């Protein structure tokens, strides 16, 4: 039996198990499934059992590209303009401040660690530090969604802090994607001799154009289509086209796919069906992506272990501190509380997508270090992300009740 067939059977069996056992455990105990798939990929990969060889992982490159793009499209589909306009500007201000503060803090500290502690040259350390800053910004939307289901049964789904957490998670994703794509445009390798290299601004325009053209094109094709199977095929075709084009140009599929999702959700009358199709496939794609991520993982050198562990600690501290400072600067500290940033601890699918995307680029600096730091952080934080969200919401409601009683 070939390795490819074994991988397909394992993926199908793993997904079936997730639907039955892991899904029940997630709902019952608020444990986000995912880390076990990452571990499964590591165990099956060439570094442990060798059941999935490096050639097999490389042969599934188009699927990995589709999965990365799909994560971007899901984020874009969350930006339905009429719904966004109903949210107060103060909420966006807090979310944007938290995202920018986290990204800059982690990027700056990791740059100092790589240069002064590891001994990497400043020119080489810049790109991976910025990438780690973007990855640190991302927040697990699946952990928030799982917590919302439990909070809805407990009558706490309308808490102001929960709305802030949801907006912050979406904003974190957009900021991370923009930082990642901007860095790729700034550091894009030069084309073959004799061709004028596009400027970073032109690369940015090309990236956006890929998403806009694909979004408009498939908006015309989709029309009023409501059949789930046809919608899935059309969405997969649009995302595959944009993602493959972007990756061929040594750009990230995430931004073009995010633009596609935003265009389709805002211009089609069947936006509900489109959003349902995107979210229905997101989870299985993410679980399979975790298996590939685990199989593609390569252990970093001994000198890189300390930066990897420091990244996890620095990210957690940056999330807490940035959320607290953002709430204070936007005058929302009394509503959100000091520790609302705990709800943003989970890392989520976008972190894996960015790390894998960065690893696929042949011009990447320190890709194994970035990839390993992301895998460790996701493994440690994703499992308990839903519990963090639930605890923050309940603590916020308790503080508000106590404040009301004192004032009365």
Q: What is the pLDDT of residues 276-294, one digit of tens each?
A: 888 888 877 887 788 888 8
Half-sphere exposure of 372 (CA within 13 A, CB side): 17
Q: What is the pLDDT of residues 31-63, one digit of tens each?
A: 666 666 777 777 777 777 667 777 777 777 788
Distance CA 311, CA 353 (A): 18
Sign (positive/negative) of CA torsion 383, 384, 386, 389?
Answer: negative
- Give the orientation angle of helix 367-381 with respect to helix 122-137, to 10 degrees: 20
pLDDT for res 404: 53
pLDDT for res 252: 92
pLDDT at 91 over 90: yes
Could you say which of 2.100.10.30, 1.20.1530.20, 3.20.20.70, 2.40.240.10 is the CATH number of the domain covering 3-407?
1.20.1530.20
* Average of per-residue pLDDT values in the chain: 83
- Contact yes or no for 357/72 (Cβ under 8 A): no
Total-model pTM: 0.90
Which of 4-18, 132-146, 301-315 has the highest mean predicted lDDT (pLDDT)? 132-146
pLDDT at 224 over 70: no
Distance CA 47, CA 158 (A): 47
């Amino acid at each position: 039996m070939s390795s490819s067939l074994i991988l397909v059977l394992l993926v199908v069996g793993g997904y079936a198990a997730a639907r039955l056992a892991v899904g029940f455990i997630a709902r019952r105990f608020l444990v986000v499934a995912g880390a076990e798939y990452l571990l499964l990929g590591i165990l099956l990969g060439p570094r442990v059992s060798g059941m999935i060889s490096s050639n097999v992982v490389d042969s599934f490159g188009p699927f990995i590209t589709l999965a990365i793009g799909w994560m971007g499209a899901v984020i874009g589909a969350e930006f339905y303009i009429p719904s966004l306009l109903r949210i107060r500007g103060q909420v966006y201000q807090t979310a944007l401040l938290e995202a920018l503060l986290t990204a800059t803090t982690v990027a700056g500290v990791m740059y100092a660690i790589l240069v002064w502690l590891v001994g990497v040259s400043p020119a080489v350390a810049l790109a991976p530090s910025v990438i780690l800053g973007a990855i640190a910004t991302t927040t697990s939307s699946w952990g928030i969604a799982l917590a919302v289901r439990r909070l809805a049964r407990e009558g706490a789904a309308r808490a102001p802090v929960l709305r802030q957490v949801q907006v912050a998670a979406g904003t974190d994703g957009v900021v991370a994607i923009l930082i990642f794509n901007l860095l790729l445009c700034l550091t894009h390798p030069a084309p073959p001799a004799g061709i004028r290299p596009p400027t970073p601004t032109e690369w940015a325009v090309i990236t956006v154009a890929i998403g806009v053209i694909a979004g408009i094109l498939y908006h015309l094709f989709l029309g009023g289509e409501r059949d789930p199977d046809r919608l899935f095929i059309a969405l997969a075709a649009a995302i595959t086209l944009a993602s493959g084009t972007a990756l061929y140009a040594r750009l990230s599929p995430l931004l073009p796919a995010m633009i596609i999702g935003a265009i389709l959700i805002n211009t089609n009358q069947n936006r509900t069906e489109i959003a349902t199709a995107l979210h229905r496939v997101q989870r299985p794609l993410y679980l399979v992506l975790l298996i590939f991520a685990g199989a593609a993982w390569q252990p970093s050198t001994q000198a890189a272990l300390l930066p990897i562990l420091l990244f996890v600690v620095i990210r957690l501290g940056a999330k807490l501190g940035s959320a607290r400072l953002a709430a204070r600067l936007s005058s929302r500290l009394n509503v959100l509380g000091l520790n609302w940033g705990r709800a943003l601890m989970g890392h989520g699918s976008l972190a894996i997508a960015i790390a894998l995307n960065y690893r696929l680029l042949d011009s990447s600096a320190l890709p194994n270090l970035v990839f390993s730091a992301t895998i460790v952080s996701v493994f440690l934080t994703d499992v308990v992300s839903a519990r963090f969200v639930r605890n923050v919401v309940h603590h916020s409601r308790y503080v508000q009740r106590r404040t009301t009683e004192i004032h009365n």
